[in-house]
Each structure stands twice: as C-alpha cells, then as structure tokens.
Amino acid sequence: MEKINWGIIGCGDVTEVKSGPAFNKVNHSSLIAVMRRDGEKAKDYAKRHHVPKWYDDAYKLINDPEINAIYVATPPSSHEEYTLAALKAGKPVYVEKPMALDYSSAVSMKEMAEKMGVKLVVAHYRRMQPLFNRVKQLLAEKAIGETRFARMEFLKKPLSKEELDVPKTSWRVDKAISGGGLFHDLAPHQLDLMLYYFGDITSAYGISYNQAHIYNADDIVGGNILFKSGVLFNGLWCFNVGEEQERDICEIIGSGGSIQFSVFGDPKITIQRKDDTEIISFDSLEHVQQPMIEKVVEYFLDEGPNPCCAADGVEVMKLLEEFTSSI
C-alpha cells in the first residue's frame, strides 16, 4: 500500500471541519468516497468537499475496490457493525470516539481486528495535538517533580429545549444511540489523556445520577482512578450548572508544582512552581484531527506505530461504564 484512499461512513457534522478536509491535506492520503443514509446529504457533502464518490449504503462503500481504509464517523450505536464489516473486508479502520456503544462491543471490535490481522485505530485525537503532547513531555521531564495526582472538573449548563429539538444534538443524550449522555460524548477524550499520561490502571470506580431530568441519561458523574504508577485521578462532570459556573480544567499536581490546562477550551498550559508561573500558548488548529490522521496514515502505511490502539479504546469504554454506576 503506497497511498491511503479513504472512505468515510457517516459524513455528518464531525467531518465537516474537524476531520474530513484533513484526509486530503495529509501526505499519501486522499478522501475518495463518503456515505450517509440520506443520499442527497451524502451527494451534497461530496460536491462541497470535492469528493469523487458518494454512497447511501455503507456496505457498497466498504466493498469499493478503490477504497483501502475506512473512517467510521457515525454515532456510536453503529460503530461495531461497520467496523466489523470493514475489518472482515480486510480494510483498516479509524473509528470515532467513543469506540462503541458499550464495553462489550468495543471488545468485539478489538478481537475481530486481532483475528483478521487488520489495523484498527480509535479517534482519541487530542493525544496527538501539540498542546497535550507538551503536557506529556513536561511530565516526563519532571517539570513539576514527581506526579502525585490529577483532578478534573468539567461543568456545563444544561442543554436548552431548542438544542434538544435538533437531531444532531438530541442523539448525544439518547442512550440507545450514544451509550449515555454528554459524559459519554465528551469524557472519552479526557479519560484517554489520563491513560496516555499515566499508563496502566490498578482500579477505578465512580457513580452517576440524573439530577435535572431534562433527558433520560445521567447528567452528573464522578470518578476515581488509581494508576499502577501510584498517581491518583479524580474527576467530576456536571451538565446542569448555571452558565456562570461553567468550568473546564485539568490540574496535575506534582511534588514541585502543578500543570493546568483545558481539554476543550483555550489552547494554553499554565505551569506553577514555588516562585514562578509560566504560560505556554498554542495556535488553534484548523482541523483538530489532522495531527492524528497524519499518524494514522503513517501507521496504515507501516511507517509508524499505532497512535491509539484498540486496547486503549476498550480501556476508555471500561472506564465509562465503571464511572456510570447509577444509584
């Protein structure tokens, strides 16, 4: 394989800017086909993004002989189905987060990739962005001494009735489609970064509850992780606070200082030591998945390692389930 010819299954909002255009901006990579069940929308996407082919049937796209790699960008409820079909067709897969609807489905996807000997990558793409890699470098350099613990708070105001009436938003809080609420939609990026930074897990537990009853999924989640390295993580996610209480912060505490950053907000890192505060700023990325897609292409071409293997995706799915033990 000298070039990756991509087919996208599910060319919805996530592919408009975050990922879709990047497939044609990466070396040795081209986007040649897209699929959406609504054929007119698939045709429109293909026209606007100058994609040669479009389909309204995922299996026709998977079996297109010109396509040698598949990006599954549908809601989680169909990740397993399309990933398994592509793997059985011998085509490597880049699958959106969360990896699947639930932990058992993620395990099935991992096992099929191993059985077929076909490559599988999970789109926890923040781990390849410069800001989050700089955090990893700072930890490795012991810029704040020995890491002791990390804490995260992600607080958002409730979705409005108007927002919940929009299909592109409403499916995210429909457990049958998304696996849970906004926690399942957003926390995979945050939890994956903790795995990326701190490695293997000794134990994890959490609890969740539906406080506001605006939709059926839980809207507050708390969780703890003890890593084998001895680092302790504590996280709180709440999606029903007042607008003035909104917060997106991760703080890593070490024996000699702290590192603070936002996962979804301003692209900067704040390093605090006893007598010093340093701020490192980063440019916003035009296509947030482009750094990850570059690494995926290298991996598919046997020119680099897997940037986020199926085992990591499975571990994140396990954490989602361990944290959402509703009372």
* Same-domain status, 52 and 153: no
* Same-domain status, 143 and 108: no
Task: Name the CA dihedral angle for 109, 314, 222, 185, rounded to a multiple of 10 degrees.
Answer: -40
* Same-domain status, 154 and 63: no
* Same-domain status, 26 and 92: yes
Counting Cβ atoms within 10 Å, is residue 6 exposed (0-12), middle (13-18) or buried (19+)? buried
Looking at the predicted structure, is the pLDDT value of residue 58 above 60? Answer: yes
Q: Is residue 103 part of a domain?
A: yes
Q: Which two tokens stand for residue 91?
A: 């085509």
Q: Which pLDDT belongs to residue 99?
A: 98
Q: Is residue 322 part of a domain?
A: no
Q: What is the pLDDT of residues 257-316, one digit of tens each?
A: 999 999 999 999 999 998 899 999 999 999 999 999 999 999 999 999 999 999 999 999
Q: Is residue 315 part of a domain?
A: no
* Same-domain status, 150 and 89: no
* Same-domain status, 258 and 136: yes
Looking at the predicted structure, is the pLDDT value of residue 327 above 60? Answer: no
Q: Which pLDDT belongs to residue 258?
A: 98
Tell me which of 269, 284, 299 is where a domain ends. 284
Q: Which two tokens stand for residue 190?
A: 């945050």
**CATH number for 18:** 3.40.50.720
* Same-domain status, 217 and 294: no
* Same-domain status, 108 and 155: no
DSSP string, 198-264: H-SEEEEEEEEE-SS-SSSS--EEEEEEEETTS-EEEEEEES-S-GGG-EEEEEEEETTEEEEE-SS
User: Within a 10 A sphere around the Cβ of 18, how many other Cβ atoms?
Assistant: 19
Q: Is residue 196 part of a domain?
A: yes
Looking at the predicted structure, is the pLDDT value of residue 78 above 70? Answer: yes
Q: Is residue 59 part of a domain?
A: yes
Report the b/e string of 164-176 with b at 16+ CB within 10 A. eeeeebebbbbbe
**CATH number for 192:** 3.30.360.10
Looking at the predicted structure, is the pLDDT value of residue 154 above 80? Answer: yes
Q: Is residue 327 part of a domain?
A: no
Q: What is the pLDDT of residues 98-109, one digit of tens each?
A: 999 999 999 999
What share of the chain has pLDDT > 70, as a percent?
99
The model's pTM:
0.95
* Same-domain status, 211 and 169: yes
Q: What is the pLDDT of residues 133-152, one digit of tens each?
A: 999 999 999 999 999 999 99
Q: Is residue 269 part of a domain?
A: yes
Q: Which pLDDT belongs to residue 74?
A: 97
Q: Is residue 325 part of a domain?
A: no
Q: Which pLDDT belongs to residue 246?
A: 97
* Same-domain status, 187 and 111: no
Structural domain including 59 reads: 4-124+288-307
Q: Domain tally for the chain?
A: 2
Q: Are 25 and 18 in contact (CB under 8 A)?
A: no
* Same-domain status, 115 and 229: no
* Same-domain status, 145 and 55: no
